[in-house]
Amino acid sequence: MIKKFPSFNIQGKTVRKIPTEDFFRNSEKTGFQLSPDGRHISYMAPYEKRLNLFVQPTNGTESIRITSETERSIAGYMWANSNRLLFLKDSGGDENYQLYGVNLDGSNLKAYTAIPGVRTHIIDELPDIDSMVIIGTNQRNPQIFDPYRLNLETGEMTLLAENPGNIQGWMTDHDGKLRAATAIVDGVNTQILYRNTEAESFRVVLTTNFREEVSFVDFTPDNKQVYAITNLGRDKTELVLMDPATCTELEPLYKSDKYDISGVNYSEAKKKLTHAAYLGHKDLVRHFFDDDTKKLYENIQNKIPGCCFGITSCNKAENMFIITVYSDRNPGTYYLYEAQTDSLKKITETRPWIKEEEMADMIPVTYPTRDGLTLEAYLTLPAGKTLEEARNMPVIINPHGGPWARDTWGYNTEAQFLANRGYAVFQMNFRGSTGYGRKFLESSYKQWGQSMQDDITDGAKWLIKQGIADPGRIAIYGGSYGGYATLQGITGTPDLYCCAVDYVGVSNLFTFMNTIPPYWKPMMEMMYEMVGDPQKDKVMMEANSPVFHADRIRVPLFIAQGANDPRVNKAESNQMVEALRKRGIEVEYMVKDNEGHGFSNEENRLDFYRAMESFFAKNLK
């Protein structure tokens, strides 16, 4: 029997109600990568509702599943060499990612760092050494990460350097030698440490305040100088050539007057810097240093005119590429491009059941704040509706998490889901959002619930002034910091919103600061300057902790939380629910015992979004 889903009417236009499952079930196939020799393609796909690894020949279609994870989806993976893949997974959302390896035929599955409570990350893939990678783990001390050279054949781990307690990141050169590190001193100052060879000791070459940025991106081909992104003496980050032994800038390479540089690419095959990029309001703008790379991108673009694309993987020779084509209405389609023959072959759509013609446009807009800033934002209207037709609509204000992150133009599953239900969705880059320069970022420090929240409020009021929003039907929904902004919205401006959904959000700035993961502890003083010091800023933090002002809430609230969340502890949601229930106010509360900071397991995601749909249908329409 074919299940038929109803249509509904939005101001005279019939729209098919797309099943919730279509938006939030696992992608059919995603995360495609090429093996180093280009002979195989790998990807992740559902098995028992968990994302697992599959491999198929590049010139074939028959694939085999090489992992069988049923408790938790694989969090990420990479090719270690042309015969072996590495993957990471955690337990119940605790974000303690553990490293495993498996051969491309599914044999020789091995746990490399399956140590309870220990988190692992890759420092250097060592593409020229098939049997080795360099990883970082906090197995010696939960607060810091030491670098190890891992032998993939024997599992032996060799400690390369012992973290003295303040190093936050390690960097290798093109030969896989540990050459640079970044440290936090006094909690707020950043140091770059450097050495010419591994036989030398690290020495401090630059000390800056954490507000200033100097980030080594990659070494030059001769391993003597570095490409670096920096905002020293400037507002926007810029790409420069730098002497790592002194951090002296040698040559400016690329900048934007309006945005931070967001990406740099170095070709291991060509042994040269190929291009850099910045992300604008809508487009990713690339600047090429290499004519052949520029021609490569032009050849691909000519085959998909008018479409956005990115290269997601390539073989070691860099003549075969996996690209993904996307838009605000297309969640992504994978293609294989072969440079030698200038041929483009479609691999698959990530979600073939999503029809582009049924999706909504994400419209880039700007609006003014009360103190004279102009903020970039995105308005998603129900499919087929133009900006001119959008009048007196139910609107969901959706501030992003982070908060030091950024909303971007492209396919957004939540926005499409809510727009399909007849709501307008408004996402804004409030002050503190990344990519807009140092001044804009710093304007958010110690402003949780204050000017940052004013930016969100001003966005909602702008929609009312434009006639887009019905003043009596504005909701607010967000996750993580967006969840905090949701709670702050209904306590600080209780008359603005008619209902709210808080997803793993902070409610108490004091307890939030006391329950952060152990590996954030070395940055505690920095957190005090960015969020607030519980002793020095007690009055400010109390004034802007929603849990202390629950008596102001007079609209329906739905809270969702993962029990194992290492970033926003479950107590954040428990406190808020308890405070409301003490006043006799019933609040919907969903807790998933096998989740962390956001719901990863498919069945939990579906439970959450079905509950959200019902909540908004009851309280917003």
Cα–Cα separations (whole angstroms), residue 532 to 432, 446, 489, 544: 15, 5, 19, 11
Peptide linkage before 46 cis (omega within 30 of 0): no
Spatial contact of 192 and 180, defined as CB atoms under 8 Å apart: yes
Spatial contact of 451 and 442, defined as CB atoms under 8 Å apart: no
Question: Position 260: which residue type?
Answer: D
Q: From CA 49, how far away is CA 47, in angstroms rounded?
A: 5
In terms of Cα–Cα distance, which of 168, 208, 191 is closest to 438?
A: 208
* Whether 94 is catalytic: no
Token reading at 228: 């670096």
The DSSP secondary-structure symbol of 223 reads: S
Token reading at 92: 């119940």
Helix 413-420 × helix 602-619 angle, to 10°: 40
Q: Which residues contact 302 (CB under 8 A, 6 or more apart)?
A: none
Question: Position 99: which residue type?
Answer: L
Secondary structure, 3-state, 347-403? EEECCCCCCHHHCCCEEEEEEECCCCCEEEEEEECCCCCCCCCCCCEEEEECCCCCC
Q: How many Cα neighbours within 13 Å face the side chain of 528?
A: 16
The DSSP secondary-structure symbol of 112 reads: S
The catalytically annotated residue of 42, 327, 480, 600 is 480
* Whether 218 is catalytic: no
In terms of Cα–Cα distance, which of 256, 260, 307, 267 is closest to 289?
A: 267
- How long a stretch of residues is the chain? 621
Q: From CA 436, how far away is CA 88, in angstroms rounded?
A: 32
* Secondary structure (3-state) at 92: coil
Q: Which residues contact 2 (CB under 8 A, 6 or more apart)?
A: none
Token reading at 600: 């990863």
571 alpha-carbon distance from chain centroid:
24
Residue 277: Cβ-neighbour burial (10 angstroms; 0-12, 13-18, 19+): buried
The catalytically annotated residue of 40, 275, 549, 597 is 597
End-to-end CA distance of the chain: 31
The catalytically annotated residue of 124, 545, 565, 573 is 565
Q: From CA 501, how far away is CA 250, in angstroms rounded?
A: 50
Q: From CA 544, how far away is CA 538, in angstroms rounded?
A: 10
* Whether 565 is catalytic: yes
Q: From CA 133, how far away is CA 41, in angstroms rounded?
A: 21
Token pair 């709501």: residue: 423
Q: From CA 480, how far away is CA 473, in angstroms rounded?
A: 23
CB atoms within 10 A of CB 603: 12
In terms of Cα–Cα distance, which of 598, 569, 260, 556 is closest to 429?
A: 260
Q: What is the DSSP string of 476-494?
A: EEEETHHHHHHHHHHHHST
Q: Residues with catalytic annotation? A: 480, 565, 597
